[in-house]
Structure 1
Amino acid sequence: MAEAQQLVDICREYLVGLLMEIARKDLPKVVENAKRNAEMAAYFTHCQLQPVHQILTLRTAVNLFFKLKQMKTCASFCKRLLELGPKAEVAAQIRKVLAVAEKEPNDTHELQYDEHNPFVVCSRKFKPLYRGKPQVKCPFCGASYSPDITGEICDVCQVAEVGRDATGLKICTIQSGR
């Protein structure tokens, strides 16, 4: 039963991340969206994915933050990526970016992203819900939402009403006497 709940959690993390990535890629490619694009890429790096997929999210964030001249945060993403043990050619490329980013460790824009303050992502607005701030969850998959989404159908599992008081997913084993 714990294994089934773990699978639901894994699926939720991937679905939230991929829904966010689709929304990020659907943003109009204009300068005004560059900050939001980078924020969403940063949030994606906090989804609990397998290391090989985490490397992909971090590479995207490194590239976007480097282009946006967010060197301090770019360096942080580089270090997180290197800790995951990427392939040699990826590691070499990231070390070069890190060296450049560490020469001028400043962020030129203020973004809605605080890597040191634990958060989950609102599964509809794709904005951080920092620890201790109000949030509601889907009783089935556990996706998190800002309180104003209460009563709407979960975008992740499309099964339950967000914030509803429900038993959620219940799994039981049935043994047959055969």
Structure 2
Amino acid sequence: MSYVTGTDKHQINFDPKANADDVKLCAGSFTAIGPNDKYVSCPYCGSVYLPSFKGKLCDTCQLAEIGANTLGILLRQI
């Protein structure tokens, strides 16, 4: 009888010696986005994605369209 071990492990390809400010990871494909590469982001949670994910629902928050232009939320005191 063989057992399968459950895991949420993902193989991520990035340079561990890179400057932390330059490291961006696509939330959809778990691939590195270079410091000079184009990317799109979720207007709600700020997750970054490769341009091929533009127009899809954000995997992180499940609330907003990736790459959509929004005005944001304006909070005022009552």
Shorter-chain-normalised TM-score: which range? 0.7 to 0.9
- Are residues 22 and 167 of structure 1, via their aligned partners in 2, closer, same or farther at CA, if it must alter by over 3 Å? farther
Q: Describe the SS at the equivalent of 1:22.
A: coil
CA contact (8 A) 1:139 1:167 kept: no
Higher helix share: 1
RMSD: 1.9
What is aligned with 1:139? 43
Q: Describe the SS at the equivalent of 1:133.
A: coil
Which AA in structure 2 matches 1:113? F
Offset, 1:135: 0.3
- C-alpha distance in structure 1 between counterparts of 2:38 and 2:67, whole Å: 11
Residue-by-residue CA offset, 1:101-153 (whole Å, 9 max, x unaligned): xxxxxxxxxxx322325221100101111211010001111110000000000
Higher strand share: 2
**Over 3 Å off, 4+ runs:** none
Aligned pair count?
69
What is aligned with 2:24? 120
CA contact (8 A) 1:151 1:163 kept: yes
| Greater RCO structure (CA 8 Å; 6+ sep) | 2
| Unaligned runs of at least 5 residues, structure 1 | 1-20, 25-35, 41-111
What is aligned with 2:8? 22
What is aligned with 1:4? none
| Unaligned runs of at least 5 residues, structure 2 | 1-6
